[in-house]
Amino acid sequence: MQNDLVISLDGMGGDHAPQIVVEGAHLSRQKYPQASFIIFGDENKIRPLIKKYPDLESVMEVRHTADRITSEDKPSIALRNGRNSSMRLAIDAVGRGEAQCVVSAGNTGALMAMAKFVLKVLPGITRPAIATYLPTKVAGHGTVMLDLGANVACDPKNLLEFGVLGGVFSRDILKIAVPRIGLLNIGSESVKGHETVREAAELFTAASHLPGKYIGFVEGNDIGAGTVDVIVTDGFTGNVVLKAIEGTAKLLASLVKQAFQSSLLMKIGFVLCLPGILVALPAFIALKKRVDPRSYNGAGLMGLKGLCIKSHGGTDGIGFANAIGVAAEMVLIHFNEKVAQAIESIGMGAAPAAVEPEEIMP
Amino acid sequence: MQNDLVISLDGMGGDHAPQIVVEGAHLSRQKYPQASFIIFGDENKIRPLIKKYPDLESVMEVRHTADRITSEDKPSIALRNGRNSSMRLAIDAVGRGEAQCVVSAGNTGALMAMAKFVLKVLPGITRPAIATYLPTKVAGHGTVMLDLGANVACDPKNLLEFGVLGGVFSRDILKIAVPRIGLLNIGSESVKGHETVREAAELFTAASHLPGKYIGFVEGNDIGAGTVDVIVTDGFTGNVVLKAIEGTAKLLASLVKQAFQSSLLMKIGFVLCLPGILVALPAFIALKKRVDPRSYNGAGLMGLKGLCIKSHGGTDGIGFANAIGVAAEMVLIHFNEKVAQAIESIGMGAAPAAVEPEEIMP
């Protein structure tokens, strides 16, 4: 049972489901050949797709439902009326212990609301958070950032808990021996920022046995600089910043494209560059892979008793396979057991789980 | 007097003062030949620099002071002990009406604190804000974003006022006929975000005669997309987002550089590209200029009775000349008169100016 790896899949979530879900599962088995899947959704659409990948036939169980959550559904409505949706059934499978992690490319707010309702919050954690990792200047080094939108407002203790969750992810999955944990702020001096972030800094400073080392306040430009391994912030700031980073990358790509198309001379210049580009193709491909958003697909809904991964809604099979990869790693390193140990050693004890997280999410 | 253009310069602010300040003034006169300057700082350092640019000798008055504000000085300390600093004296010149705008590359927090103390807040404005404009996908189109760090917490009315300030800047300086004004949030639906941003949305919706059109909530990725002309947010979010954008641009530049240096093949590929790059050089130069942070240097401290521009501390003469350019444009279009008209037409009346803005700044 230790090495069991059963992933529950929302077969109908996201812009290109169920194609990307089935293809992603197929691709993920290159790295995780022991993985098996339970996929929830419209079997008339899913079964023909599975036929294309014979390796899946024996390891993917289809459970039919015609019901699905759309990207427009409000979390509260999804929670009330979505009991037979592919998303909810996929979460239920983790709740019952049939699968060890659920992966969905569907509505983030609905996924968080349902996952919280079904799976419940881990002892010692007040609020779950959404976390992802982002590329940095340092090769092979990703920075974990959380919360990305589960909680629009956070108190200092929430932020400390996010630090523990992110620290365990960085240490045990990204294999950073002692993750450097920073609090996102508008300056590095202790007087900077609002009360919540300053009080959180006191909690981090006082906490012993963190899964990492608290290094103080960090700023927006530290995210890509690789000066820190875990960046802790509230869900409002985290969500806006994550989208601003994505927007900036798109902007720069668009400006380069515009420049190449700007004039006949530039087009001729580009053609003259082709031999050089061909010679250097492997390095170009490596660069492209390094900045490819699909390489960073798979945000963890952390702090719940069951594991749940959110994939970008617009990703393709390769991106979805990466989200399954994050799920597989979290299962294989026993993420929640590591979090429980971290919470115990930091002496946060069992927090009152009564606080109801916000329902509003990106 | 209408076309007078006297700029007061903090000759000692920033990493490379006074060199960049004198060089920037010289360069700015290409576009603003009518400009004259009063520069405050160490005359032993400044006078030899002026000698290098004979055009400045008749239009730059040097006023000596050996005192300066450092980047480590806290705003409150600077305010108390910096009465003879180059920064304070430069602001005082605007307060006395000797100059129409002050430009400083020094400590932002100290600059805002001193400018607020000396110049006072405009009637109808509760809190001044820091604003800059950023490049977008749309050629020749910049998005104005504010607040970038003057106010870590903002109430809905502050955000409405920022919208007015940014709208006037976009309309009268960037020449956008009807600026689209958006509130930065974590989603576009009206239920998204925290109470402050939702209440601000109600104020914007109810406001008639805005200097622009309120288009609702925008997200982080809208900043570079050119879908909006003015982005309004609190100073905490704005500051973190601005630095995250700068960090992302630096990250991508660094990754491209790393790729070109990654292998011998890539280096050979680069050499083979050189003829093409030479042919297309003008377009490359245009692209470089478009993403050059110096092109966007010069953040306005808006909402004060006198005009004040903050330059990046690490910029060079070209960047500082751009900051002087922003100052010149704000003087020449009579920015504060336009703001006063906008405040009157929106019916915000004279706000109680008693609320003390935060002293903590980036």
B250:A187 CB<8 A: no
pLDDT score of B352 more than 60: no
Strand partners, A232: A146, A183
Indicate whether B233 belongs to any domain: no
What count of CB pairs under 8 Å joins A to B? 241
Q: Collect all residues of chain A within an 8 Å Cβ-Cβ radius of residue B277.
A: 269, 273
Instruction: Please enumerate in sequence order all residues whose Cβ is within 8 A of that of A292, keeping only pairs 6 or more positions apart, or say none.
Output: none
Residue B137's closest chain A neighbor by CA?
A251
B237:A235 CB<8 A: no
Of B152, B260, B281, the CB nearest to A193: B152
Indicate whether A163 belongs to any domain: no
Indicate whether A97 belongs to any domain: yes
B283:A273 CB<8 A: no
- Tell me the pLDDT tens digit for each residue of B32-67: 999 999 999 999 999 999 999 999 999 999 999 999
Sign of CA dihedral A342, A347, A350, A355: negative
State the nearest Cα–Cα gap between A155 and chain B, in angstroms.
14
State the nearest Cα–Cα gap between B205 and chain A, in angstroms.
21
Range of the domain at A95: 1-127+294-333
Q: What is the pLDDT along chain A (362 residues), one digit of tens a residue?
A: 445 899 999 999 999 999 999 999 999 999 999 999 999 999 999 999 999 999 999 999 999 999 999 988 999 999 999 999 999 999 999 999 999 999 999 999 999 999 999 999 999 999 999 999 898 888 778 899 999 999 998 999 999 999 999 999 999 999 999 999 999 999 888 888 899 999 999 999 999 889 999 999 999 999 989 899 999 999 999 999 999 998 888 888 888 887 777 777 777 877 888 887 787 777 778 777 777 888 889 999 999 999 999 999 999 999 999 999 999 999 999 999 999 999 988 876 444 444 444 433 44
Indicate whether B116 belongs to any domain: yes
The size of chain B, in residues, is 362
Domain count, chain B: 1
User: Could you identify the residue written with the tokens 């008693």?
Assistant: B354
Q: Collect all residues of chain A within an 8 Å Cβ-Cβ radius of residue B250.
A: 137, 221, 224-225
Residue A227's closest chain B neighbor by CA?
B247
A221:B149 CB<8 A: no
The burial class, CB within 10 Å (0-12 / 13-18 / 19+), for A8 is buried
pLDDT score of B356 more than 80: no
A269:B277 CB<8 A: yes
Question: How far is B159 from A122, CA to CA, in rounded Å?
Answer: 38
pLDDT score of B87 more than 60: yes
CA distances from B138 to A241, B167, B228 (A): 21, 18, 11
Per-residue confidence at B348, pLDDT binned at 50, 70, 90? low
Indicate whether B109 belongs to any domain: yes
pLDDT of res. A257? 80
Question: How far is A24 from A16, CA to CA, in rounded Å?
Answer: 11
pLDDT of res. A357? 43
Q: Could you write out the DSSP letters of every residue in A169-184?
A: HHHHTS--SS-EEEEE
Q: Collect all residues of chain A within an 8 Å Cβ-Cβ radius of residue B282.
A: 263, 265-266
> For residue B263, which of A282, A135, A140 has the smallest C-alpha distance?
A282
Q: Collect all residues of chain A within an 8 Å Cβ-Cβ radius of residue B361.
A: 186-187
Question: Peptide bond before A147: cis, by omega within 30 degrees of 0?
Answer: yes
State the nearest Cα–Cα gap between B184 and chain A, in angstroms.
8
Q: Collect all residues of chain A within an 8 Å Cβ-Cβ radius of residue B278.
A: 269
pLDDT of res. B3? 55
Indicate whether B226 belongs to any domain: no
B236:A272 CB<8 A: no
Per-residue confidence at B70, pLDDT binned at 50, 70, 90? very high
B283:A265 CB<8 A: yes
Per-residue confidence at B78, pLDDT binned at 50, 70, 90? very high
- Tell me the pLDDT tens digit for each residue of A19-46: 999 999 999 999 999 999 999 999 999 9
pLDDT score of B357 more than 70: no
Of A240, A248, A278, the CB nearest to B237: A240
Considering the entire predicted model, what is its pTM?
0.88
Question: How far is A163 from A176, CA to CA, in rounded Å?
Answer: 14
B220:A233 CB<8 A: no
Question: How far is B173 from B283, CA to CA, in rounded Å?
Answer: 26
B283:A271 CB<8 A: no
Q: Collect all residues of chain B within an 8 Å Cβ-Cβ radius of residue A280.
A: 260, 263, 265-266, 268-270
Cα-based torsion angle of the residue sequence B319, B322, B324, B330 in order, rounded to the nearest 10 degrees: -150
B223:A237 CB<8 A: no
Question: How far is A115 from B100, CA to CA, in rounded Å?
Answer: 59
CA distances from B296 to A254, A344, B110, B131 (A): 18, 49, 22, 11
Q: Collect all residues of chain B within an 8 Å Cβ-Cβ radius of residue A277.
A: 269, 273
> For residue B212, which of B179, B168, B174 has the smallest C-alpha distance?
B179
A252:B249 CB<8 A: yes
Indicate whether B34 belongs to any domain: yes
Of B191, B225, B287, the CB nearest to A256: B287
> For residue A323, which of A57, A27, A116, A6 has the smallest C-alpha distance?
A27
Q: Collect all residues of chain B within an 8 Å Cβ-Cβ radius of residue A141.
A: none
If residue B134 lies in a helix (H) or strand (E), which one and from where to where?
strand B129-135
State the nearest Cα–Cα gap between B303 and chain A, in angstroms.
21
Strand partners, A182: A216, A231
Mean pLDDT, rounded, of chain B: 90
pLDDT of res. A348? 63
Q: Collect all residues of chain A within an 8 Å Cβ-Cβ radius of residue B191.
A: 74, 360
Residue B272's closest chain A neighbor by CA?
A276
- Strand order from edge to edge, sheet including A180-184: A60-64, A36-41, A6-10, A101-104, A307-310, A299-302, A129-135, A142-146, A230-232, A180-184, A213-218
Q: Collect all residues of chain A within an 8 Å Cβ-Cβ radius of residue B271.
A: 276
Indicate whether B281 belongs to any domain: no
- Tell me the pLDDT tens digit for each residue of B285-336: 877 777 788 888 999 999 999 999 999 999 999 999 999 999 999 999 999 9
User: Could you identify the residue written with the tokens 């115990």?
Assistant: A344
The pair of three-digit structure tokens given for residue A112, joined into one six-digit string: 């968080």
Of B240, B245, B270, the CB nearest to A248: B245
Where residue B332 sits, what CATH number does that domain have?
Answer: 3.40.718.10
pLDDT of res. A140? 77
Question: How far is B206 from B216, CA to CA, in rounded Å?
Answer: 12
pLDDT of res. A3? 56
